């Protein structure tokens, strides 16, 4: 009797592994990207920042799917043209801890959507709002601000040496035995 | 009753065989490679069926026949023992001959497949993406290189070389009526030679699980007579048709202002994205979204309005458009013949 109960318990525990991260590929509302009041500067009338009304910052930030989508879009939309895979070039580096306009998701989202002085173009109307949030989440993850269980890994071609399965065998030093 | 059941069973089998013909079937070959493979599978199936029946009969015989009692069990009967030995040795010998024979048949079939591409007339690069096919026609003249999507036009009766690769995950190219399947592997180029005997439309399908929309990753090989194929190529090289109506003109403007322009290319306009299907002649294709929807104004609108409903998980995002904007963009795309 006892082993049966234990087996049942084990089976019940195994069910916990069936939980899968939600993939939210459809925007929750058809609201346009221009409607959300996201601060672009700390200087607000009355000295008070409006609080962000979008819950996407929280739901996209640590979501593996959205982070990897952001990585894909970062390449597709040629962000590397100026930011060079996050290392910085014509544009500032994204993988350090320096944030000219703040490190919050809302700030990065506003940077991509509305642009910034000295070169950052505005992508309002060019990138759907959800995709901007995905990009913002990925940019934030570049400096280690996302849980490592969710953050996308580095591309093979960015590694300092070829991947392990393409390395010469350490035991034989590349010579066939 | 038993008879009725067996008739019903035979009818069901005959009906299910109906599914083995048409535009996507390995048992309905339309090219030399597929014919060779179909012949091979029928030969293997036929021979193995004969062997199976013989083995079953040999197994059943001792069960059915009552064994004769030997008058004197301890007396050796050299004749009967030799006969048994001969039967067993013959069966073992035949098995060896059949196995070697099948290997040889398979080997020569492979040689026939390899010989198809001995003098290819045309080279096409097929790149797999989640979840569509990029098709690039190679030519010595750079201005004649043509990029399109999801539909592969080939001249009928001529061998065509396909260079297969992928940008994301492993896909597999399979047009059952024309050839066997071959994988598209990121960072690696596979070569597949195909030939269609007669003009026609042959459906293909990704045959390696590649993600959520693997099932909706179809392709079409359209074989045409050479003259028609050349005319098609020349048509496709032209820049996109200029919008005729005011609505379509508004649609072109919107296309260039909204997110469409970030990923798609339309020749002759500033839209030059290369990460999504080329839309220069999108309305000349038979289907949308890699064989998911047939091409029509309604389906174009449905696909643009809610791609995540039609093909959940695909990289086409939901773009916030008003009804009028959607109509204008559809009117524009519909004219890109």
Beta-carbon contacts below 8 Å between A and B = 39
Q: What is the mean pLDDT of residues B87-100?
A: 93
A25 and B258 in contact by Cβ < 8 A?
no
**Hunting for tokens 């072109």 — which residue is that?**
B252
pLDDT digits (tens, 9 = 90+) for A62-80: 889 999 999 999 999 999 9
B182-184 and B171-174 beta bridge pairing: antiparallel
Checking if the pLDDT of B13 tops 70, the result is no
Q: Give the pLDDT confidence score for residue B193 in this predicted structure.
A: 93
Instruction: Decide yes or no: CATH 2.60.40.420 for domain B246-334.
Output: yes
Mutation site for A-interface testing, chosen from B314, B320, B321 by largest number of A Cβ within 10 Å? B320
Q: Give the pLDDT confidence score for residue A50 in this predicted structure.
A: 46
Confidence band, pLDDT 50/70/90 cuts, at residue A157: confident
Chain B hits for A77, CB-CB cut-off 8 Å, are 262
Q: Give the pLDDT confidence score for residue B3 in this predicted structure.
A: 67
Give me B255's structure tokens: 């296309």
Residues contacting B213, CB < 8 A, separation 6+:
B130, B131, B311, B312, B313, B314
More confident residue, A158 or B318: B318
Q: Give the pLDDT confidence score for residue B151 in this predicted structure.
A: 94
Measure A112 CA to nearest chain B CA, in Å: 14
B257 and A129 in contact by Cβ < 8 A?
no
pLDDT digits (tens, 9 = 90+) for A120-150: 999 988 999 889 999 999 999 998 888 888 8
Does A169 contact chain B (CB < 8 Å)?
no
Q: What residues does each domain of chain B span?
A: 23-63+80-234, 246-334
Q: Give the pLDDT confidence score for residue B61 in this predicted structure.
A: 87
Q: Give the pLDDT confidence score for residue B247 in this predicted structure.
A: 93
Class of domain B23-63+80-234: mainly beta
Confidence band, pLDDT 50/70/90 cuts, at residue A31: very low
Angle between helices B78-115 and B32-64 (to 10 degrees): 170
293-332 in chain B: CB under 8 A from chain A: 306, 308-309, 312-313, 315, 317-320
Q: Give the pLDDT confidence score for residue A33 in this predicted structure.
A: 46
Identify whether the C-beta of residue B126 lies closer than 8 Å to the C-beta of residue B185: no
Residues contacting A16, CB < 8 A, separation 6+:
none
- Of the candidates A107, A125, A26, which has an alpha carbon nearest to the alpha carbon of residue A66? A26
Measure A127 CA to nearest chain B CA, in Å: 5
- Give me the interface pTM, i.e. the ipTM: 0.79
CATH topology of B23-63+80-234 equal to that of B246-334?
yes
- Mean predicted lDDT score pLDDT of chain A: 80
Does B257 contact chain A (CB < 8 Å)?
yes
A54-146: CATH number: 1.10.760.10
Chain A hits for B308, CB-CB cut-off 8 Å, are 25-26
């Amino acid at each position: 009797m006892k082993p049966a109960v234990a087996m049942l318990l084990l089976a019940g525990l195994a069910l916990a592994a069936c939980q899968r991260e939600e993939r939210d590929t459809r925007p929750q509302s058809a609201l346009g990207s221009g409607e959300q009041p996201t601060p672009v500067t700390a200087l607000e009338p009355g000295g008070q920042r409006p609080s962000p009304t979008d819950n996407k910052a929280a739901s996209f930030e640590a979501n593996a799917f959205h982070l990897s989508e952001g990585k894909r879009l970062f390449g597709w939309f040629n962000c590397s043209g100026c930011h060079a895979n996050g290392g910085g070039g014509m544009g500032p580096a994204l993988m350090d801890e320096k944030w000219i306009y703040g490190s919050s998701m809302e700030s990065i989202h506003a940077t991509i959507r509305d642009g910034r002085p000295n070169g950052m173009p505005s992508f309002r109307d060019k990138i759907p709002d959800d995709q901007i949030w995905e990009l913002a989440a990925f940019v934030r993850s570049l400096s280690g601000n996302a849980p490592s269980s969710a953050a996308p890994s580095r591309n093979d071609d960015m590694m300092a040496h070829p991947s392990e399965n393409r390395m010469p065998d350490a035991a034989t030093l590349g010579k066939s035995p | 009753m038993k008879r009725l059941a067996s008739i019903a069973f035979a009818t069901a089998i005959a009906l299910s065989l109906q599914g083995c013909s048409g535009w996507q079937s390995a048992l309905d070959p339309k090219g030399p490679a597929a014919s060779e493979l179909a012949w091979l599978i029928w030969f293997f199936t036929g021979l193995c069926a004969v062997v199976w029946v013989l083995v079953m009969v040999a197994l059943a015989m001792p069960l059915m026949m009552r064994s004769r009692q030997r008058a004197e069990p301890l007396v050796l009967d050299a004749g009967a023992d030799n006969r048994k030995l001969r039967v067993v040795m013959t069966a073992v010998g035949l098995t060896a001959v059949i196995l070697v024979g099948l290997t040889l048949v398979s080997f020569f079939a492979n040689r026939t497949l390899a010989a198809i591409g001995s003098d290819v007339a045309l080279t096409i690069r097929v790149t797999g993406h989640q979840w569509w096919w990029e098709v690039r026609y190679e030519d010595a003249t750079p201005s004649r290189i043509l990029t399109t999507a999801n539909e592969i036009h080939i001249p009928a009766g001529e061998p065509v070389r396909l260079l297969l690769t992928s940008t994301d995950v492993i896909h597999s190219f399979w047009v059952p009526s024309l050839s066997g399947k071959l994988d598209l592997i990121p960072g690696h180029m596979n070569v597949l030679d195909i030939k269609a005997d007669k003009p026609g439309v042959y459906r293909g399908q990704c045959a390696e699980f590649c993600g959520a929309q693997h099932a909706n990753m179809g392709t079409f090989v359209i074989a045409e007579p050479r003259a028609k194929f050349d005319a098609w190529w020349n048509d496709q090289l032209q820049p996109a048709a200029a919008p005729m109506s005011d609505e379509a003109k508004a649609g072109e403007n919107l296309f260039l202002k909204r997110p469409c322009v970030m990923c798609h290319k339309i020749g002759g306009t500033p839209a030059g994205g290369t990460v999504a299907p080329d839309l220069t002649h999108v309305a000349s294709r038979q289907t949308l979204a890699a064989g998911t929807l047939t091409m029509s104004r309604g389906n174009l609108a449905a696909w643009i309005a809610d791609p995540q409903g039609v093909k959940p998980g695909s990289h086409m995002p939901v773009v916030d458009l008003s009804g009028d904007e959607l109509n204008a963009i559809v009117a524009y795309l519909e004219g890109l013949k």
